[in-house]
């Protein structure tokens, strides 16, 4: 069945870089894009960016200068990197198939000052 799973550090220091991995199964990254969404504690959902099935990317303009999304199709993995972290980047980070019909469990990330 289709599954996505986020992994990465739970705690990151301010000004450092966040690196998260989304490992997918049950589908190919050459057939589906993957979206990253985040949710600060007690708040709503924010679309961060997408890597399309052809490998092209689009980013939320508010994050574009700090964010990059890449992938390794042979490992069925999508990578998120975001630099210059601040405390308001504390959130649960989700990856989802671009069709939005399958979501990961989320990775909780706390940015410490």
Binding site for another protein (CB under 8 A): 35, 37, 44-47, 50, 58-61, 94, 96, 99-101, 103-106
Choose between 8 and 106: whose C-beta lies nearer to another protein. 106
Distance of CA 46 to the CA centre of its chain: 11
Cβ distance 94 to 103 under 8 Å? yes
In whole angstroms, what is the distance from residue 69 CA to residue 17 CA? 13
Choose between 3 and 19: whose C-beta lies nearer to another protein. 3
Shortest Å distance, C-beta 58 to another protein? 5
Laid out side by side, the sheet with 11-13 consists of 11-13, 107-112, 91-97, 34-39, 46-51, 57-59
Choose between 8 and 16: whose C-beta lies nearer to another protein. 8
Shortest Å distance, C-beta 74 to another protein? 26
Shortest Å distance, C-beta 35 to another protein? 7
Choose between 83 and 105: whose C-beta lies nearer to another protein. 105
| Angle (nearest 5°) at CA 68 between 18 and 14 | 25
């Amino acid at each position: 069945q289709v599954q996505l799973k986020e992994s990465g550090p739970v705690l990151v220091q301010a000004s450092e870089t966040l690196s998260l991995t989304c490992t997918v199964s049950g589908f190919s990254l050459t057939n589906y894009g993957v979206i990253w969404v985040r949710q600060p504690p007690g708040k709503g959902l924010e679309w961060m960016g997408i890597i399309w099935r052809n490998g092209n990317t689009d980013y939320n303009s508010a994050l574009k200068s700090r964010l990059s999304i890449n992938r390794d199709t042979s490992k069925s993995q999508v990578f998120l990197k975001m630099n210059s972290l601040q405390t308001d980047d504390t959130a649960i980070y989700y990856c989802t198939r671009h069709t939005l019909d399958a979501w990961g469990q989320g990775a909780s990330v706390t940015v410490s000052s």
